[in-house]
Amino acid sequence: MEYNPFLPEVKANPYPYYAQLRQHAPVYQVEGAGMWAVSRYDDVLEVLKSPDRFSSKILMTALLGDLNPVPNASNLIASDPPVHTRLRKLVNRGFTRRMIAALEPRMRAITTELLAPLASRGACDLVHDLSTPLPVIVIAEMLGVEPDHRGQFKRWSDDIVGATNGVAGDERKRVAQSIAEFRDYFQRAIELRRTEPKNDLITALVRAEEEQQMLTSEEVLSLTTLLLIAGNETTTNLIGNAMIALLDHPETMARVSSDPTLIPKVVEEALRYDGPVQGIFRQATEDVNLAGARIPAGAMVLPLFASADRDERQFPNSEQFDIDRNTDGHLAFGFGTHFCLGAPLARLEAKIALEELLARFHRIAQKEPTVTRIDSFILRGPKTLPLTLEAIA
């Protein structure tokens, strides 16, 4: 068999390829890419549990290359313990469950505002009208971006996320310019918070830096960049993937519409069944034996969360979307050291988006027979999701 994550047919539907990998080549070297794909649940877990043998340091370079706006600072997602432990402790302060839960009324208000024009239209593109703007507005407000900079912030966010998929030529120049503007704006914002603290995440991070001299300004900036990369398109994809799963399973859609308390189960099963982050990079720090393969020191490793979450050994009937299953232990948010900082935020945004949609529309149907997916092998979600909507009278 051949697995190449860059091929369009694999990006369109990687799951049959993952099944083949799990069965025949659980640790597989991708032809020509020098990269080792890890596909079984236990082996993915082994990689994530072993930052000493599978380092994350390569990550920002792998994702952004020389477009990284903060190349010289340690970045949370691209550091190993003990540097990671220090950064994570500080950053956790801005993302406690209580703080996230307190955002709920505002998230609902933003969702309501975004959905308001759709009822009379009777149609929408879920990606354009709801799942893209919602996480961007939420994170902008959390960071403390002024309302008149929202448009710019959205452009910077789109460009930074776009840069992770590779850009070339004139487009690259434009993106580099946009990333420089982003850097400029947040550098000034960080300095400003020192004399004029506000009730926002930038202030919380700057305080951590001043009180304990533990986070440098560059680290705050680096973290801000990461929040855009890690938090926006991923949440967009979760909302889109969950909606696709419901559209493909009308009996579940009907059940959930009449009993919205099931929505958290939909969110969890969508994370397991069709994860927004299919896999991520690590680098072997030494020669490692894994599932009978020998990964050489220095090689790039791709633990496939989305394949692990379809592993029959862990999730019986794994290819079925079943909101009644036990989803405990799914790896859509990773595991251990780098477990997603924004998981409670993403879960809450997805829950609110689905609740508010289903509360307004009693018939939601897909306008087009097939879904076009975004062009990425790391992220998975719909590029657009045109829907027809019938509002509840």
Q: What residues make contact with ligand HEM under the rule CB under 6 A?
A: 56, 76-77, 88, 139, 226-227, 230-231, 234-235, 238, 276-277, 280, 305, 332-334, 338, 340-342, 345-346
d(CA 127, CA 236): 7
What does DSSP say about strands 300-303 and 35-38: parallel, antiparallel, or unpaired?
parallel
Query: What is the enclosing helix (H) or strand (E) of 55?
Result: strand 54-55
Select 126 or 389, whichever has its Cβ closest to ligand HEM.
126
The sign of the CA dihedral 241, 275, 344, 217 is: negative
Determine contact, residues 187/217, Cβ cutoff 8 Å: yes
Least distance between ligand HEM and beta carbon 280 (Å): 5
Q: How many CB atoms lie within 10 A of CB 67?
A: 19
Least distance between ligand HEM and beta carbon 173 (Å): 28
Least distance between ligand HEM and beta carbon 58 (Å): 10
Select 178 or 232, whichever has its Cβ closest to ligand HEM.
232
Closest residue to ligand HEM: CB criterion: 342
d(CA 263, CA 257): 9
Select 78 or 387, whichever has its Cβ closest to ligand HEM.
78
170's CB contacts (< 8 A; 6+ apart) are none
What does DSSP say about strands 35-38 and 293-295: parallel, antiparallel, or unpaired?
unpaired
Q: How many CB atoms lie within 10 A of CB 144?
A: 16
Least distance between ligand HEM and beta carbon 338 (Å): 4
Select 73 or 76, whichever has its Cβ closest to ligand HEM.
76
72's CB contacts (< 8 A; 6+ apart) are 218
Least distance between ligand HEM and beta carbon 328 (Å): 16
Select 26 or 231, whichever has its Cβ closest to ligand HEM.
231
**Which residues in 225-298 belong to E strands, given as ranges?**
282-284, 288-290, 293-295
Select 310 or 389, whichever has its Cβ closest to ligand HEM.
310
Select 156 or 333, whichever has its Cβ closest to ligand HEM.
333
Least distance between ligand HEM and beta carbon 329 (Å): 14
Residues β-bridged to residue 277: 379
Least distance between ligand HEM and beta carbon 56 (Å): 5
d(CA 292, CA 252): 41
